[in-house]
Chain A
Amino acid sequence: MAGLLDQPGYDEESLRRVSEQLPCRELQAGMLLSLMGQPQQYCYPSLFIYGHRSSGKSHVVNVLMKELELPHTTVSCVECISAALLFEQVLLSFFGCDAAAQLPRSPSISDFVRIYRQQSSQFPAKQTRFIVMEKAELLRDADANLLPALLRLQELVDDNVTVVLLSEIVWDKFRPNTGCFEPLLLHFPDYSKGELQQILSKDCHPSYSAEFYSSYINILLGVFYTVCRDLRELRHLAALNFSKFCEPVAAGKAKETETHKLWKNIEPHLKKAMQTVYLREVSSLQWEQMEEHEAGALRGLSAHTHVELPYYSKFLLIAAYLASYNPARTDKRFFLKHHGKIKKTNFLKKNEKTSNHLLGPKPFPLDRLLAIFYSVVDSRVAPTASIFSQISSLVTLQLLTLVSHDDQLDTPKYKCAVSLDFISAISRTVNFDIVKYLYDFL
């Protein structure tokens, strides 16, 4: 395995260390290394590495840079909210603080290139310098000139420098409309199931045998593999649930080799984990504490949907929900006592077969909301300022949303932004049967 990476110009010992640290990524690392060439040779001006989340993009690049001791700087585009931070970091790590201090207060890319040229003429590169940009998709939101300039930085600063972009998104979505210097594309494929198993089995528990742990990983992948291929997530789940898996062994109820027994024990537990801890409903700490209690007995984050509201606010929200999910022409039938005869055939139009709960809420004007509100609320309510302020406070609570921004005062339109479960719970508290008034459930 150690012989897979060979590239003249580098220390063999460190190459061996590199390949040890990169399980299942020797091929990609070797390709990257051969593209980088020897340290003093020129490398392609920009490389673009793409692949799924946790397919080892940053890891491979970082390990190569660290172990081979190449001059490099790693920049996360999430952190660099302005280009100035990026420039400062690059200059700082290549030329020290003096160079970074030369940047003016709000540096343009021109300043950066000028200082870089100045410095690199004093300290010319003996080795290729690498600028690694993580989460490069955020560069698209930055200044329009930044990405094209970075891609041809080698030409602009006339130094042996290579920009490595790492991203989850394919290059086609990066290309500016007037074009740019095309980087060399490199794909990191996803780990296969076997490779995932191999990597996950590496962090095995010291007090148990390796086969035992790898059979556990096998079961874990069996449950989660259809949903999640993210190595980090799987590793986290594996670490969380392992203690549950060894419980029967520790209690002496089963031996390490009795796989079927162990599987029967862990499988429902893992299924529950998918609904809770995988969705971050329950935090990892809570999940570990739950071991003693019944798993899932704890109410997760999303179970706390109950909100205390004033009486009229509740009815306003109910009215908004009805206005959002019922077509306006059915209002007469639902809310007028003495409506005329409406034929059933006429009433159910054919093209409205698709449920409104599938299409989402529709906007409605304020007048309609108030009309429905007066019809569902039993007592007489005066349209006071408090009613209107409750409507606007429902908007700030994000239970309603204001649709059109153009007229704030005059006939605003709203949408209801709560789910059916939420509104049924609310209507239960005020003894209102909302399902009876919903067009979809007729």
Chain B
Amino acid sequence: MSKRKAKEAHLPIGECIDQVHLILRKRFCHQQLPDKLEGVEAQHKHLVELLKRTAVHGESNSVLIVGPRGAGKTTLLRSVLRELSEVTEVQKNLLQVHLNGLLQTDDRIALKEITRQLHLENVVGDRVFGSFAENLAFLLDALKKGDRSSSRPVLFVLDEFDLFAHHKNQTLLYNLFDVSQSAQAPVAVVGLTCRLDVLELLEKRVKSRFSHRQIHLLSSLTFPQYVARVQTQLSLPDDFPDGKFVREWNAAVATLCEDKSVEDVLRRHFNSSKDFRSLLMLLMLCLSRVSVAKPVITPADFLDASRSCLADAQANMLHGLSILELCLIIAMKHLNDVYEGEPFNLQMVHNEFKKFLQRKSNSMYNFEQPVIMKAFEHLQQLELIQPADSSSAKTQREYQLMRLMLDHSQIMEALQKYPQCPTDLKQWATSAFA
């Protein structure tokens, strides 16, 4: 089919929407690699150069990529590796070992994983043989035997690098950095971490072997750039089957990004964090509302999505409490006010509650102690109150000291929003001395 004909083809609207979901969901959820990275060109170039030197010239290197969560560390690395894989020499030469601090929780597991990924000769099928010491000796031997000119370079990628620093004696890090220091097989160690103080975690001997090369990925995004990114994230690519639909969709996205209320929403998000992943979450929520009946994203979607993103979860939970539980929380709030945040126990709360009942002289809330205890325990299960000290088994339940995990304004707001809140409760909550 010629290109022109393909452009003319009109798909039914249902299929178009399916395609939109397919493409955008892959982009938002699966973190599909974009064609071009924005804003990190310098870092990208630096890393490419460095890895190329290892892969082509056999130079050993170590580098740390540091940045907050969702700043695009993995994306940067993946795009660099994609670029390198286009160079045939690198593709033939470079061996890659990917480790993750979350998975390889100690050095023994990490070592097995390395052996497995390098397909060394003590691996049969997928199994690795030998004890930890044997494995380590074997691996080091294999790495030491090599030299700059003849052996293939190895790239070690250590995701969640800070977790590797918590291993015993940091054996793995020491050995990797040691190999990269001495003239043995060429290795490049790339660590990805979100901790700025990661070097303080390293032992002295490990630190001295590290090259102290760091690539910082700190977002320097301005708000217009942020909005532009939203637009590129939402736009459809040109190779979409239905040309007309793409044009309409992209035009709709462009007008959407200029909308005043959308801009307000985005600014609020931008001010709370420049983290890109939280933006993707927002967009994902907007996208989920797109259907055949409503084939565009409207500003109202953005408002709804941002409302559910920024909702106070604690307030949501307070909304579902029973009146008795709410009474207890108000009593705790008064105790906190009077005794300046000292921990309290059930007896004191009950006493405070009784004072309220006496003053009101209506018996509507006159519950027995066990019923109140049940409500109190429910609050504890929801972790709205937490024990002040950890010795839970030793004291009787009614005398266990607790702390309230809510602040004043949250309680007052919850009372305002509570459905059919009795007026005397509201008055009790506002009056300073009950």
Which of A's residues lie within 8 Å of B, judged by CB? Answer: 6-9, 31, 34-35, 37-38, 40-45, 50-52, 55, 108-110, 113-114, 118, 143, 145, 148-149, 152, 154-156, 160, 168-173, 178-182, 184-187, 189-190, 192-193, 225-229, 274-275, 278-279, 281, 302, 357-361, 401, 403, 415, 417, 419
Interface residue from B31, B289, B317, B348 paired with A34 (Cβ < 8 Å): B289
In the complex with contacts A170-B317, A187-B311, A417-B395, A113-B348 CB distance below 8 A: no
Q: Report chain A residues within 8 Å CB of B103.
A: 108-110, 113, 145, 149, 156
A154 x B381 contact (CB < 8 A): no
Query: Any chain A CB within 8 A of the CB of B285?
Result: yes
| Interface hub of A43, A182, A226 (most chain B Cβ within 10 A) | A226
Tell me whether B34 is interfacial, beta carbon within 8 Å. Answer: no
Does B207 count as interface, using CB distance less than 8 angstroms? no
Docked Cα-Cα span, A159 to B382, in Å, equals 34
Q: Interface on chain A toward B: helix, strand, loop, or mixed SS?
A: loop
Which of B113-142 touch A at CB < 8 Å? 113, 116, 126
Task: Tell me whether A109 and B314 are in contact in the complex, defined as CB-CB below 8 angstroms, given that A51-B320, A189-B320, A274-B371 are known contacts.
Answer: no
B26 touches A169 (CB 8 A): no
CA distance A180 to B68 in the complex (A): 11
Residues of A within 8 A of B382 (CB): 52, 168-169
Contact (Cβ within 8 A) A189 B316: yes
Of the candidates B21, B163, B345, B365, the one having the most CB atoms from chain A within 10 angstroms of its own CB is: B21
Tell me whether A182 and B284 are in contact (CB under 8 A). Answer: no
Q: Give the complex CA separation of A109 and B110 in angstroms.
A: 12
Residues of B within 8 A of A275 (CB): 368, 370-371
Residue of B nearest to A361 (CB): B399
Q: Is residue B102 contacting chain A, with contact meaning CB distance below 8 A? A: yes
A35 to B29, CA, bound (A): 11
A187 cross-chain contacts in B, Cβ below 8 A: 308, 311, 313, 316
Is A360 in contact with B399, judged by CB distance below 8 angstroms? yes
Distance between Cα atoms of A9 and B292 in the complex (Å): 12
Which residues of B lie under 8 Å from residue A156 when comparing CB positions? 100, 102-103
Q: What residues on A are CB-neighbors of B281 within 8 Å?
A: 44, 182, 184
CA of A439 to CA of B207 in the docked complex: distance in angstroms?
65
Q: Is B411 an interface residue (CB 8 A)?
A: no
Given the known A-B contacts A275-B370, A417-B395, are A154 and B30 also in contact in the complex, defined by CB atoms under 8 Å? yes
A residues within 8 A CB of B163?
145
8 Å CB interface, B313-337 against A: 313-314, 316-317, 319-324
Q: Name the interface residues of B299-317: CB closer than 8 Å to any CB of A.
A: 308-309, 311, 313-314, 316-317
Q: Which residue of B lies closest to A228 (CB)?
A: B322
Q: Does B194 contact A (CB under 8 A)?
A: yes
B contact patch SS:
helix
Q: For the complex, give the distance between the alpha carbons of A357 and B396 in Å.
A: 12
- Across chains A and B, the number of contacting residue pairs, with CB separation under 8 Å, is 174
Determine if A227 and B322 form an interchain contact, defined as CB atoms under 8 angstroms apart.
yes
Contacts of B336-358 to chain A: CB distance below 8 A: 345, 347-348, 351
Rounded to whole angstroms, the CA-CA distance of A358 and B349 in the bound complex is 9
Given A42-B25, A179-B69, also A184-B396 (CB < 8 A): no
- Name the one of A113, A179, A360 contacting B347, with C-beta atoms under 8 angstroms: A360
Given contacts A8-B292, A178-B195, A187-B313, A227 and B367 within 8 Å (CB-CB): yes
Q: State whether A41 and B25 are in contact (beta carbons under 8 Å apart), knowing that A118-B126, A171-B313, A184-B281 are contacts in the complex.
A: yes
10 contacts between A and B (CB under 8 A): A145-B105, A170-B317, A185-B308, A185-B309, A185-B311, A192-B419, A226-B324, A278-B371, A359-B347, A415-B394
A279 touches B292 (CB 8 A): no
Q: Is the CB of B313 within 8 A of A227?
A: no
A224 to B87, CA, bound (A): 73
A358 to B396, CA, bound (A): 12
Residues on A with C-beta less than 8 A from B311 are 185, 187
A160 to chain B, nearest CB (A): 8
The residue in chain B whose Cβ has the minimal distance to the Cβ of A418 is: B396
Docked Cα-Cα span, A184 to B283, in Å, equals 11
Interchain residue pairs A-B with the least CB separation, the first 6: A360-B399, A190-B320, A170-B313, A110-B103, A34-B288, A52-B320
CA distance in complex: A152, B194 (Å): 16
Q: Which of A41, A45, A184, A185 contacts B21 (CB 8 A)?
A: A41
Which residue in chain B gives the minimum CB-CB distance to A169?
A: B383
CB of B395 within 8 A of CB of A110, answer no
Cα-based distance from A361 to B308 in the complex (angstroms): 46
Residues of A within 8 A of B322 (CB): 225-229
B277 beta carbon closer than 8 Å to chain A: yes
